[in-house]
Amino acid sequence: MIELSPHNLTSNPDRNRLIKCIVWDLDNTLWDGILLEDEKVVLRSDAVRVIKTLDERGILHSIASRNDYERGVQQLKQFRLRDFFLYPQINWNAKTASIKTIAAAIDIGLEAIAFVDDDPFEIEELIFSHPEVLCIEAKNLGRLPEMIPDSVTPDARHRRLMYLSNIKRQETEEQFVGSREDFLATLDMTLSIGPAVEDDLTRAAELTVRTHQLNATGYTYSYDQLRQFCKSDRHQLLIASLKDKYGTHGKIGLALLECEKYIWTIKLLLISCRVVSRGVGTIMLNHIMGMASKQNVALRAEFVPNERNRMMLVAFKFAGFREHDRRDNVVILENDLAHIQAPPSYVKVQYPAPCRPRRFSQARPFTLV
């Protein structure tokens, strides 16, 4: 039975760290043997078990292997594993470069990546170049707190399939001749924005933990905290989902409003990086602006700047928000609601009935043990 043992972590691992992608070597790691030298390589059943278990938890997989691309892909197909690996880097480049390429393609930080290899030299080189990556020797696979989420949502179980659908979208866009708006119009997108209900809360909590780049404040909330917001007369929790002709993106947007008598404040606004180019952030902001205008209240938003969320500030400014005040590291933005944009023509927006559930069951979200 394999155990996951980190090569570059202390004996007291960081429970707050969240691994989003495992990057695998191939030779003597995913399989026993060297593809270009041995007559046959043997798939490691323990590695397959780990891959499938973590895939069901919403953790992605990729490859960084010094190998022949065609031979490597063909072997993965023979083992019926090719579709488990996103953006595989099977080439003769340094693995440090391959891992940067994978992180950029998936749009995650290096601190969200774990690297599995059998070669101590490769691991030492990666630790030197990218110390934020969690390195694991292939002989020590297993269970790490960083790879055991508190709960598993339907979106998490389908995360890899969503990424595979997104790869098809990207390939189609690269071949498309015309403007970006024309391409988006071919996707038949439908965006749904409405009040979160109890079944949404586990995914909503996951979004606050996983989303960093398109997150206005970086605040994280637990299932129980979000549940209280849904029951509160002073708050509104909105959740957005997106689908198109290629399939669903799942629940990809979240907004928390604090609703006082004369002023509404956006305490949290986040958008999944998978839909950054679809205009979802602007649509959600204008929807909230319309809600505030109908209630005849002022609208403000909190923004906590960091190295990774500048794009969210751009979205606020594009929607007409201007700086109103600063409180320590929190920038208070305000919108005069004079110009509320209609949704772009290339997306159909649905607004479920604005009813807030008042009766919540006592059931807690499913938790892995």
User: Does residue 104 fall inside a structural domain?
Assistant: yes
CA dist., res. 96 & res. 94, Å (int): 5
Residue 140's pLDDT is 56
Nearest to 135 by CA among 122, 152, 118, 116: 116
Residue type (1 letter), 260: E
Can you tell me the mean pLDDT for 113-136?
89
Backbone angles phi, psi at 214, to 5 degrees: -105, 60
pLDDT digit string, tens, across residues 57-67: 889 999 999 99
* Same-domain check for residues 28 and 90: yes
User: Does residue 48 fall inside a structural domain?
Assistant: yes
Residue 106 has pLDDT above 50, yes or no: yes
Q: Domain of 231: which CATH number?
A: 3.40.630.30
Beta strand 247-259 pairing with 263-271? antiparallel
Average pLDDT over all residues of the chain: 84
Residue 73's pLDDT is 95
User: Does residue 239 fall inside a structural domain?
Assistant: yes
Residue 360's pLDDT is 41
Range of the domain at 272: 180-350
Nearest to 106 by CA among 160, 57, 25: 160
Q: Which residues contact 181 (CB under 8 A, 6 or more apart)?
A: 344, 345, 346
CA angle (11 as vertex; 99, 27 as ends), nearest 5: 35
User: Does residue 282 fall inside a structural domain?
Assistant: yes
Q: Which residues contact 38 (CB under 8 A, 6 or more apart)?
A: none
pLDDT digit string, tens, across residues 261-294: 999 999 999 988 778 778 888 899 999 999 999 9
Domain count, the chain: 2
User: Does residue 76 fall inside a structural domain?
Assistant: yes
Which two tokens mark 140? 């020590």
Please give the residue that has the higher pLDDT: either 365 or 34.
Answer: 34
Which two tokens mark 96? 């440090």
Residue type (1 letter), 161: L
* Same-domain check for residues 228 and 339: yes
CA dist., res. 255 & res. 316, Å (int): 13
* Same-domain check for residues 72 and 185: no
Under the banding of pLDDT at 50, 70 and 90, the label for residue 147 is low
Residue 362's pLDDT is 41
User: Does residue 152 fall inside a structural domain?
Assistant: no
* Same-domain check for residues 72 and 190: no
Which one-letter DSSP state was computed for residue 329?
A: T
* Same-domain check for residues 42 and 118: yes
User: Does residue 278 fall inside a structural domain?
Assistant: yes
Which two tokens mark 99? 């891992």
User: Does residue 343 fall inside a structural domain?
Assistant: yes
* Same-domain check for residues 344 and 195: yes
Predicted TM-score of the model (pTM): 0.67
193 strand-pairing partners: 240
Under the banding of pLDDT at 50, 70 and 90, the label for residue 363 is very low
Is residue 316 within 8 A of residue 285, CB to CB? The reply is: yes
* Same-domain check for residues 133 and 206: no
Among 105, 127, 147, where does a domain finish? 147
Residue 141 has pLDDT above 80, yes or no: no
Residue 16's pLDDT is 55
- Residue 21: which H helix or E strand, with range? strand 21-24
Q: Domain of 22: which CATH number?
A: 3.40.50.1000
* Same-domain check for residues 193 and 342: yes
**pLDDT over 90 for what percent of the chain?**
46
Looking up tokens 């019926």 gives 80
pLDDT digit string, tens, across residues 71-96: 999 999 999 999 999 999 999 999 99
* Same-domain check for residues 208 and 339: yes
Is residue 288 classed as helix, strand or coil in its secondary structure?
helix
* Same-domain check for residues 284 and 342: yes
348 strand-pairing partners: 190
Can you tell me the mean pLDDT for 92-110?
92
CA dist., res. 357 & res. 351, Å (int): 16
* Same-domain check for residues 344 and 220: yes
* Same-domain check for residues 197 and 89: no
Backbone angles phi, psi at 285, to 5 degrees: -60, -45
Under the banding of pLDDT at 50, 70 and 90, the label for residue 215 is confident
| Biggest distance spanned by C-alpha atoms of the chain | 75
